[in-house]
Amino acid sequence: VAVGQCGNQVGCRFWDLALREHAAVNKKGIYDEALSSFFRNVDTRNGGDGRDISKGKICSLKARALLIDMEEGVVNEILQGPLRDVFDSKQLITDVSGSGNNWAVGHKLYGCQYRENIVEKLRKTAEHCDCLQCFFIIHSMGGGTGSGLGTFVLNLLEDEFPEVYRFVTSVYPSGEDDVITSPYNSVLAMKELNEHADCVLPIENESLFDIVNKIQQMVNSGKLGSIVKQNSLVTSSASSTKTVQEKPFDAMNNIIANLLLNLTSSARFEGSLNMDLNEISMNLVPFPRLHYLVSSLTPLYTLADVNVPARRLDQMFSDAFSRDHQLIQADPKHSLYLACALLVRGNVQISDLRRNIERLKPSLNFVSWNREGWKTGLCSVPPVGHSHSLLALANNTCVKPTFMELKDRFMRLYKKKAHLHHYLHIDGMEQSCFSEAISSLSDLIEEYNELDATKSGPGIDPARLKIAV
């Protein structure tokens, strides 16, 4: 479910890259299990929306998606672009005037107005699934639609589909965000994420920007003996011959799209140690509210070398833990790990994985009750254009600074009651919404504080049960 401008722009990149990935693997054009995780196969020969074809040749692929925006621009562009046949009108919900960067407008006003419509469309998409395991929500936190209506949808999903996992990819605003009210919107949205999401993958634009620049530098430098292949983390299928992106955020959004593809790769494709989405939530969320996962993707690009010596493979693992590969401004190495997951794709075996875990472990701080807290997965199918790749997901206290800064920015506005009236005059909004939201965020920060306090402790193991012999 993509909500808002950011959500839909990222979503667009996601569907483009997903098609590219499946096209590279699925040579015979047969609709298989892997494809059915994200796409329906629809019989469109008689025009319009035919019935689903569950096996056999691919007829027409339709994304299992919902596109929601309170402005029409972004969604219209998608429907006029190369992806127009992947969606149908029953998957779209749009309005004209937008949410004015106001969480309350998105959550309370439009939420109320579009509730039934959204529920109905969600039910329809769910009915087309044999076995619905997970919802992905893609949105930004700083605006009005993605933030407000996006978290409204999150609530809805919990009410209507309580057994289905809710993974949320949230783009957090940076310090120099030009939306003045973004701290309000973000903190109000955080409360919803705290209470209703199973897993949140926070992303910061600054980090994406830095990564894009790094890749651009490598491509442009053309260092002697190292030619960067056209395919990198930021390449679209459309621009396989050019390295310049057409739209300013495409490169950054491709990174998020790749994150989601890698996250779901082991659920879609075979491997010697499968890692499903419910396993991610099970292993990386030790306490219900601590469900914020810092992610990093490596390699960012591949060199044209065909041979990949072990050294280069090991470099990929080292990079995954370095500060400049994280998708938020954080340094997990100097904070406390509660849990860590490594999902490897391509020709990498268990011994490579183990060797690198042994090598990197000493430089990482793990909480005392989870000293060997690693979850690993091996998927045989590499991403397009790479021979192997690694996605690292960390439940680490390094998210704390991001949340603390958010809180600070919120308080600077809130103390002066700046712009509050825009929110409070919306039906259903009260002062208590704000105080509850900041309280929820403060509690979360406090939980991370308490864990950080244990970092330097002696870590004495608790006494075992004594059995009478």
The binding site for another protein (CB under 8 A) comprises 33, 130-131, 133, 269-270, 272-274, 276, 278-279, 281-288, 338-339, 349-352, 354, 357-358, 361, 368-370, 372-376, 378, 461-462, 464-467, 469
Report, in Å, the least distance between residue 332 CB and another protein.
16
Report, in Å, the least distance between residue 372 CB and another protein.
5
Closer to another protein by CB, 261 or 393: give it.
393
Report, in Å, the least distance between residue 352 CB and another protein.
6
Closer to another protein by CB, 214 or 455: give it.
455
Closer to another protein by CB, 130 or 159: give it.
130
Report, in Å, the least distance between residue 11 CB and another protein.
24
Closer to another protein by CB, 246 or 369: give it.
369
Report, in Å, the least distance between residue 377 CB and another protein.
9
Strand partners, 171: 140, 203
Closer to another protein by CB, 93 or 399: give it.
399
Closer to another protein by CB, 51 or 369: give it.
369
**Residue 55 burial (C-beta neighbours within 10 Å; 0-12, 13-18, 19+):** exposed
Closer to another protein by CB, 113 or 454: give it.
454
Closer to another protein by CB, 276 or 405: give it.
276
Report, in Å, the least distance between residue 225 CB and another protein.
26
Report, in Å, the least distance between residue 339 CB and another protein.
5
Report, in Å, the least distance between residue 288 CB and another protein.
6
Distance of CA 416 to the CA centre of its chain: 34
